Amino acid sequence: MRLLIIGSLNGQIGIASQIAMSRGAKVSQVGDIDGALTTLRAGRGADMVMIDIGLDVKGLVERLDNERFSLPVVACGIGHDAAAAAAAIRAGAKEYLPLPPDPDLIAAVLEAVADDSRPLIHADPAMEHVIKLADQVASSMASILITGETGTGKEVLARYLHSKSNRADEVFISVNCAAIPENLLESELFGHEKGAFTGAVARRVGKFEEANGGTLLLDEISEMDIRLQAKLLRAIQEREIDRVGGSKPVKVDIRVLATSNRDLAQEVKKGTFREDLLFRLNVVNLRIPPLRERPADVEVLSRHFARKYADLNAVEKRPISAAAMRELQQHAWTGNVRELENTMHRAVLLANGPEIGPEAIMLPDGSRASASPAVANAVAGESAQAGGDAASMVGRTVAEVERDLIIDTLSHCLGNRTHAANILGISIRTLRNKLKLYTEEGLPVPMPGDGMRSAY
């Protein structure tokens, strides 16, 4: 992990640096916020920032956001000053660290805030096959495409590949192609020169250059605009990039990994993904099975998350009862490992008695997670009813039917955009664009936490 320290930390820099380095961090230090921005723009990146509470914490957070540096910020100050800690958190810091630094506390903060060491826990034969193939190709230079449903652990597998590669001691850089606006993604990937466009206040190195010598993960690459895919293809083929507004190419030495929750072959047929780029990325394909196809993984992951969140919340560790485990293994887990993790976090908080019982295995809307035959029959009944209602769609436009489906699904998910996108089988970006359109048309759109039903 790369730690960037800003300021003097009241004379505690040396001690803090030594502790962080003893825990495996690579540490650099600058005197002020301008120096930190210069360092980040130059590609000497960081995974976490530690700033002296005497500096402008809020200003740092705002400037990082403005320049799209997604970094957790930890504020540091002398002693356990509750007022200073509260002010730092309000300003946007993730944590407040009292000085002089305590080794165990720094270690805990590094792990909790950076969280880039998530273990790849598995026990199911279906997942074991994927891991064996990953081990076989990890040390190669081949580009690898990791596919699977949302929440299956594609980025975790990408980090595993990096850790097993010849580049394990170098940086691992991840870019979420779905989370960055299309008009900014080119600059994010390839960098830009000062004045290349409005807002380009200084030269900035892109993720390709920042990952030089290491591994670059292009997360959810199917969401990248097809016009940018041509430039990406050249960068992967030639191992050189052109900064936006630049006058000469820049050589890079990287290993490229990519993930997608979509069938890219189908995207090629639809004209939204370049076939030549797919061939270049898909030298090896690692498909992660959905959690419902990995029953043994449900058990070991449930126990892992139960221990993790008991520690995190400082509550008693409880075993999972046999009845609760049956419910966990029967559930469909449409959100996969991410949904299971959230469910176990809730279960740890809701459990009473010596065990985590089935009454604690709740979904976000408060319903039980069991996938009993009765539930299956109810789902089947709903499907039959939907078929019976098909005639009511006659005379309506496709856009109207799509709108009602999106709004009803979002309402069912209590306004949770990510959950609704998973159910609908569309990207979160597509869903947000649709909702923005509906809002502009004056239609009511459920907000997070809302349980309204469509009135259409």
Mean of pLDDT values over 33-56:
88
Q: 257 with 156, same domain?
A: yes
Residues 135 and 201 occupy one common structural domain: yes
Structural domain includes residue 33 = yes
> Is the same domain home to 311 and 199?
no
Higher pLDDT, 134 or 432: 134
Looking at residue 197, which CATH number applies to its domain? 3.40.50.300
Measure the CA–CA gap between 9 and 78, rounded to whole angstroms.
8
> Do residues 250 and 157 share a domain?
yes
Is residue 64 domain-shared with residue 206, that is, in the same domain?
no
pLDDT for the residue numbered 205? 86
For residue 42, tell me if it sits in a domain: yes
Residues 359 and 409 in one domain: no
- Report the alpha-carbon distance of residue 451 to residue 437 in Å, rounded: 21
pLDDT digits (tens, 9 = 90+) for 59-96: 999 998 888 787 889 999 887 777 888 888 888 888 88
List, for residues 94-146, the tens digit of each pLDDT value: 888 888 878 887 877 777 655 545 668 999 999 999 999 999 999 999 999 99
Flag whether 418 is in a domain: yes
Query: Would you state the pLDDT for residue 377?
Result: 41
170 in any annotated domain: yes
In this prediction, residue 112 carries a pLDDT of: 66
Domain end (from 236, 262, 287): 287
Tell me: do 222 and 331 sit in the same domain. no
pLDDT at 395 over 70: no
Identify residue 416 by its one-letter amino acid code: N
Residue 56 is predicted with a pLDDT of 92
Which residues are CB-neighbours of 370 under 8 A, at least 6 positions away? 327, 330, 331, 358, 361
Query: Does the pLDDT value for residue 171 go beyond 60?
Result: yes
Q: What is the CATH number of the domain that holds 26?
A: 3.40.50.2300
**Whole-prediction pTM value?**
0.68
Cis peptide before 100 (omega within 30 of 0): yes
Q: What is the pLDDT of residue 386?
A: 45
CA angle 32, 25, 98 (to 5 degrees): 60
- Going by their DSSP bridges, the two strands 250-251 and 240-241 should be labelled as antiparallel
* Mean pLDDT (whole number) for 215-240: 93
Look at residue 371 in the predicted model and tell me its pLDDT: 44
**Which CATH number do you get for residue 315?**
1.10.8.60
Is residue 220 located within the same domain as residue 180? yes
- H or E segment and range at residue 134: helix 125-137
Average pLDDT rounded to a whole number, residues 32-40: 91
SS3 content of the chain, % helix, strand, coil (to 5): 50, 15, 40
Answer with the one of 391, 424, 446 that is the final residue of a domain.
391
- Look at residue 123 and tell me if it is in a domain: no
Residue showing tokens 């940018």:
228
Q: Residue 287 — pLDDT band, cuts 50, 70, 90? A: very high
Q: How many distinct structural domains can be found in the chain?
A: 4
Q: What are the φ and ψ backbone dihedral angles of 314, each rounded to 5 degrees?
A: 55, 45
Task: Identify which has the larger pLDDT, 100 or 57.
Answer: 57
Give the pLDDT of residue 370: 61
- Which CATH number goes with the domain that contains 404? 1.10.10.60
Assess whether 364 and 424 both reside in one domain.
no
Please tell me the distance from the alpha carbon of residue 363 to that of residue 96, in angstroms, as a whole number.
Answer: 33
One domain for residues 201 and 226: yes
pLDDT at 385: 46
Q: Is 272 exposed, middle or buried (0-12, 13-18, 19+ CB in 10 A)?
A: middle
Among the listed ranges 248-252, 312-316, 344-348, which one has the minimum average pLDDT value?
Answer: 312-316
Examine residue 180 and state whether it is found in any structural domain, yes or no. Answer: yes
One domain, residues 53 and 147:
no
Please tell me the predicted confidence (pLDDT) of residue 115.
Answer: 54
Q: Which of 261, 287, 313 is the last residue of a domain?
A: 287
Same domain, 108 and 202: no
pLDDT band at 383 (very low <50, low <70, confident <90, very high): very low
Task: Report if residue 25 sits inside a domain.
Answer: yes
Average pLDDT on 352-371 reads 82
Closest by Cα among 401, 409, 451 to 431: 409
* Averaged pLDDT, 359-367: 83
Tell me the mean pLDDT in the region 206-228: 93
Q: Which domain holds residue 219?
A: 129-287
Instruction: Tell me, yes or no, whether 172 lies in a domain.
Output: yes
Judged against a pLDDT cut of 90, whether residue 417 lies above it is answered with: no
Q: Which of 17, 3, 103 lies closest to 46 in space, CA to CA?
A: 3
Q: Which of 184-188, 192-196, 210-214 has the highest mean pLDDT?
A: 210-214
At 453, the pLDDT band (50, 70, 90 cuts) reads very low
